[in-house]
């Protein structure tokens, strides 16, 4: 057990691509935690998709031992956190497990939207914050300007900010010294009853569920019987250890230490993040303050392209859900797409990551329906329900009003693109809350409907600002608006996979775009096919796909014109009958393209 004054627990917070994972690599490398042979870039990003996209998705932890200038040996526990808005819950819980943060800011880019979001979480968790200016070896680096920006925008003193280049190893020694001298040691009492916070858990094929904990008070030893205060589950501790990034077994973990245990727990669902772990006998009286559980905000249907792969998809989704407690799913069926799952995600990137992992790790081709959000329906009889899938919307005559989720979006953008960004937000039914400047960059705060953001807002924002804008959001609650369900009818049959909730003022535009698109995507048949967008019983847009025609008058030469007329009338009657009984085949590609709306 390490003495409390010799422990430092910290996390690294930053915007995407500001060099968090690289700095973590250098700290690990310079303290010889990992041998040169095992060292690789983005050491803590274990998933293929993390390495490929260059983003961190899961918060990872490592224990580093460092001999400081005063000759003492310190134990540093580092948690490398994601920088992306969809994984903010990973950040929030990592923050509660540590006492300080290194705030990494790219000295060429300055403060970005996610820098703000993550640093506010650190301030909320009452952290000591050490600013680090990274990438100082680049010619475009401007440390004075960025330090000023940190003071203006975030309001923390950056006069003694560390100047580092994580890539080339400049300033790493000073960073380690700053961690030891400027960050506080953890508190805790080894004699008190055990209180350990469950920071994370994941499934390992050999060990069962591995649980990452931060011990607050007391000592946990191998062989102890523990109880989870939130779920009431009781388990014997089988293995206890720390991450150096590889697992290393220890006999006990004391206050202030971060480590893991296994206890033959079968399912990740049994371990709730933020739960308090204590001894079965002589345990703690009340649990630690927990986190808010993560609530899915974006829903979409996942269907296999080949319906025979449904069982494979089921087992793949079950395996993924073992490791990601924030991902929820239930089975659904669709007339057009067959059997599949309705899944809930924390945001669009989370959706993309899950979809990529399913396609890649389990080799299943998927169709994703249009993402939708959760609406609150208030009925005329006073009852209230939640609507996850627009196809399930009840008859409008019994609904009194609909509320949709709103978000507070913070956008940091260079001055010259400000007009385009304001126009984009107005087009998406946004309400401007604030506009301030930090140097040559504007910080715009908007109240936006989440429904408009999940579609393609992020892509549009990137394209109108040539990639220079950064965007972050948080949920703000629900508000009533004039929303209606728009459905698409092909040959008078509704296509459930294409129904969506839209604002009444924009329904006609949305419907027309969808009909025009489907007209190009559906192959022609022997009969005329009407493609309509409708709200309730009222058609608001229509396109007609003309029929393929056989020339029935080819064999008529000479004679009376009535002969031709007779043959054409006969053909017309046949087409009418065909349209009545004919079935329209809509190819899978048409669905996939139609759902990618605003390209």
Take residue 273 and report the two structure tokens written for it. 């993040």
Minimal CA–CA distance to 333: which of 389, 256, 378? Answer: 389
Q: What angle do CA 232, 291, 227 make, to 5 degrees?
A: 20
8 A C-beta contact, residue 439 and residue 414: no
Q: What share of the chain is helix, strand, coil (3-state, %, to 5)?
A: 30, 35, 35
Cα 296 to Cα 328: distance, rounded to the nearest angstrom: 7
Cross-strand pairs, 334 = 338
Q: Using DSSP, how many helices (H) and how many strands (E) does the chain show?
A: 13, 32
Torsion 254-260-262-268 (CA) sign: positive
Annotated binding residue at 400? no
Is 363 annotated to bind a ligand? Reply is no
3-state SS, residue 455? helix
The SS3 of residue 442 is: strand
Q: State the Cα–Cα distance between residues 402 and 379, nearest whole angstrom.
A: 9
Is 440 marked as binding a ligand? no
266 is in an annotated binding site: no
To the question of whether residue 22 is assigned a binding role by annotation, the answer is yes
Closest by alpha carbon to 126, among 151, 101, 90, 157? Answer: 101
Q: Which residues pair with 529 in a beta bridge?
A: 545
In the structure encoding, which two tokens stand for residue 478, read together? 């629900």
Using the structure block, give the residue that is written with the tokens 């350990």.
196
In which residue are the tokens 């659904």 written?
A: 332
| Residue 134 annotated in ligand binding | yes
17 is in an annotated binding site: yes
- Stated as kind and residue range, the H or E segment containing 91 is helix 88-96
Query: Binding site annotation covers 106?
Result: no
> Residue 271 annotated as binding?
no
DSSP conformational letter for 186: P
525: annotated binding-site residue? Answer: no
Q: Which residues of 503-542 are buried (b: 16+ CB within 10 A; e: fewer)?
A: beeebeebbeebbebbeebbeebebebebbbbbeeeebbe
Which positions make up the binding site?
17-22, 134-137
Point out the annotated binding site for GTP: 17-22, 134-137
């Amino acid at each position: 057990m390490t003495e409390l004054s010799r422990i430092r627990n910290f996390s690294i917070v930053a915007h995407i691509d500001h060099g968090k994972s690289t700095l973590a690599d250098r700290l690990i490398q310079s303290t010889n935690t990992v041998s040169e042979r095992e060292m690789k870039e983005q050491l803590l990003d274990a998933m293929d998709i993390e390495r490929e996209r260059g983003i961190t998705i899961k918060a990872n932890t490592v224990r580093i031992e460092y001999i400081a200038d005063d000759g003492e040996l310190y134990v540093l526990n580092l948690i490398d956190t994601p920088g992306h808005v969809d994984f903010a819950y990973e950040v929030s819980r990592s923050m509660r497990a540590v006492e300080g943060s290194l705030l990494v800011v790219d000295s060429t880019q300055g403060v970005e939207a996610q820098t703000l979001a993550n640093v506010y979480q650190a301030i909320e968790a009452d952290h000591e914050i050490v600013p680090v200016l990274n990438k100082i070896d680049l010619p475009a680096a401007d440390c004075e300007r960025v330090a000023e920006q940190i003071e203006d925008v975030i309001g923390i003193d950056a006069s003694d900010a560390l100047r580092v280049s994580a890539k080339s190893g400049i300033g790493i020694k000073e960073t380690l010294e700053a961690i030891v001298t400027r960050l506080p040691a953890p508190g805790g009492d080894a004699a008190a009853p055990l209180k350990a916070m469950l920071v994370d858990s994941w499934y390992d094929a050999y060990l069962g569920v591995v649980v990452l904990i931060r011990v607050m008070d007391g000592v946990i030893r191998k062989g102890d019987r523990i109880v989870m205060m939130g779920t009431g589950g009781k388990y014997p501790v089988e293995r206890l250890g720390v991450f150096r990034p590889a697992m290393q077994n220890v006999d006990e973990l004391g206050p202030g230490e971060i480590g893991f245990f296994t206890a033959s727990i079968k399912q990740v669902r049994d371990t709730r993040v933020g739960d308090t772990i204590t001894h079965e006998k002589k345990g703690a009286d009340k649990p630690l303050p927990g986190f808010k559980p993560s609530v899915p905000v974006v829903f979409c249907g996942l269907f296999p392209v080949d319906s025979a792969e449904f069982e494979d998809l089921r087992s793949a989704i079950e395996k993924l859900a073992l490791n990601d407690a924030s991902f929820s799913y239930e089975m659904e069926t669709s007339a057009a797409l067959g059997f599949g799952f309705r899944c809930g995600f924390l945001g669009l990137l989370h959706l993309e990551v899950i979809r990529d992992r399913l396609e890649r790790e389990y080799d299943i081709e998927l169709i994703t329906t249009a993402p939708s959000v959760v609406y609150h329906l208030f009925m005329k009889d006073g009852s209230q329900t939640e609507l996850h899938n627009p196809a399930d919307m009840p008859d409008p005559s019994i609904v009194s009003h609909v509320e949709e989720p709103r978000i507070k979006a913070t956008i940091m953008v260079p001055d010259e693109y400000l007009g385009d960004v304001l126009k984009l937000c107005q087009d998406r039914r946004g309400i401007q809350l604030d506009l301030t400047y930090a140097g040559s960059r504007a910080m715009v705060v908007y109240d936006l409907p989440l429904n408009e953001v999940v579609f393609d807002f992020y892509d549009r924002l990137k394209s109108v600002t040539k990639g220079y804008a950064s965007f972050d959001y948080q949920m703000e609650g629900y508000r009533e608006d004039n929303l209606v369900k728009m459905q698409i009818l092909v040959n008078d049959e509704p296509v459930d996979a294409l129904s969506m909730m839209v604002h009444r003022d924009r329904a006609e535009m949305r419907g027309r775009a969808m009909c025009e698109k489907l007209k190009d995507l559906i192959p022609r048949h022997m009969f005329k096919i009407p493609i309509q967008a409708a709200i309730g019983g009222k058609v608001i847009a229509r396109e007609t796909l003309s029929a393929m025609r056989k020339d029935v008058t080819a064999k008529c030469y000479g004679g009376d014109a009535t002969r031709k007329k007779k043959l054409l009338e006969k053909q017309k009657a046949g087409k009418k009958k065909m349209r009545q009984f004919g079935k329209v085949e809509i190819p899978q590609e048409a669905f996939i393209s139609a759902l990618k709306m605003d390209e």
